Amino acid sequence: MADSNFIDHVRIYCKAGNGGKGSMHLHRAKYVPKGGPDGGDGGRGGHIILRGNKQMWTLIHLRYRKNIRAEDGGDGSGQLKTGKEGEDIILEVPLGTVARDGETNEILFEIMEDGEQRILAKGGRGGLGNNNFKSATNQTPRYAQPGEPGVEGLFILELKILADVGLVGFPNAGKSTLLSVVSAAKPKIANYAFTTMEPNLGIVNYYDDKSFVMADIPGIIEGAHEGKGLGLRFLRHIERNAMLLFMIPADSKDIGKEYKILLNELKQYNPELLDKQRVIAVTKSDMLDEELKAEIRRHMPRKVPYLFICSLTGEGIPQLKDLLWHTLNRDESAD
């Protein structure tokens, strides 16, 4: 995976800018030998900001950018001049990026919309100049505030892919083949386990210029929630999918059991995944006759819609697109 362009987890050290010092200055002029305080405030330190960019799909640009430091604010000066604000650093990130505290692992925020900006590390406030402290009893204060230090620390950025439909299945279940048939995506396809080593996204065109996004997630194996196979690395991406399409090949020894194993892996990783809408596709169905299909139907879950499909022959593909579209838009149809 060292040469992969898909990076979905980075750790970065950030140091926001310190605020500038307030000025301790007394006004002096040719005919004003003892003027009052006119020290300006210090400038704010630069923030480190994350900004959503819908054109990005990976965090690879931050992989080797381990130390990020924003500019300090400028010091205040006489004649009530405020110091220059430190320049902010804006880091573009893909939609679906989660920012965590690197020490506590606490979620700080998530970037979900294009152009959305959130401060990751806040710059320190500038100190107040001595002009702010004058009063009736102290008309020439000879002190000013130092600037506040900027926030610094370790942060974790974690990408969870945003897609309408997530493909869930064991390795070699036909997920990549389906994606290549229903969209313009060109995932690597071969007849062995773990062909897909990173998520692939494809836009599935529907009727009347309608479309939805489908994500091919690397295959799950039993024990994935414990980190076996590629499990933990990619299970997080399923959390973002609006619905899940379970793909089980027709030559599976026990289709019902395989579905339950997949369901259990999702439950063990995050029970909330079971709240998502589900559809089952029995793939490679060109090898089945009607008698075998009837036998399989007896073991299918009763409350989950399913279809028999074959990506190579096109069997059931139009019906699958219909089912996915109507399931995704069920709430809108009901209005």
The band of 319, judged by pLDDT with boundaries at 50, 70 and 90, is very high
The lowest-confidence range among 54-58, 186-190, 243-247, 293-297 is: 186-190
- Higher pLDDT: 57 or 75? It is 75
First to last CA, the chain: 46
Task: Write the CATH number of the domain with boundaries 1-159.
Answer: 2.70.210.12
Residue 302, judged by CB atoms within 10 A of its CB (0-12, 13-18, 19+), counts as exposed
Residue 137, judged by CB atoms within 10 A of its CB (0-12, 13-18, 19+), counts as exposed
With beta carbons less than 8 A apart as the criterion, state whether 284 and 248 touch.
no
The band of 265, judged by pLDDT with boundaries at 50, 70 and 90, is confident
pLDDT at position 65: 87
Give dist(CA 305, CA 309) in Å, integer.
13
Mean of per-residue pLDDT scores for the chain: 85
**pTM (2 d.p.):** 0.69
Read off the pLDDT of residues 124-183 as tens digits, 9 standing for 90 and up: 999 999 999 998 888 889 999 999 999 999 999 998 877 889 888 887 777 888 888 888
State mean pLDDT over 258-281: 88
Q: Output DSSP code: residue 77.
A: B
Give dist(CA 69, CA 209) in Å, integer.
45
Please report, for the chain, the start and end positions of each structural domain, with discontinuous segments joined by +.
Answer: 1-159, 165-334
State mean pLDDT over 312-334: 83
pLDDT exceeds 80 at position 210: yes
Give dist(CA 172, CA 197) in Å, integer.
12
Architecture of domain 165-334: 3-Layer(aba) Sandwich (3.40)
The band of 234, judged by pLDDT with boundaries at 50, 70 and 90, is low
pLDDT at position 245: 93
pLDDT at position 192: 43
* CA distances for 199 relative to 187, 217, 263, 299, 324, angstroms: 9, 5, 19, 30, 20
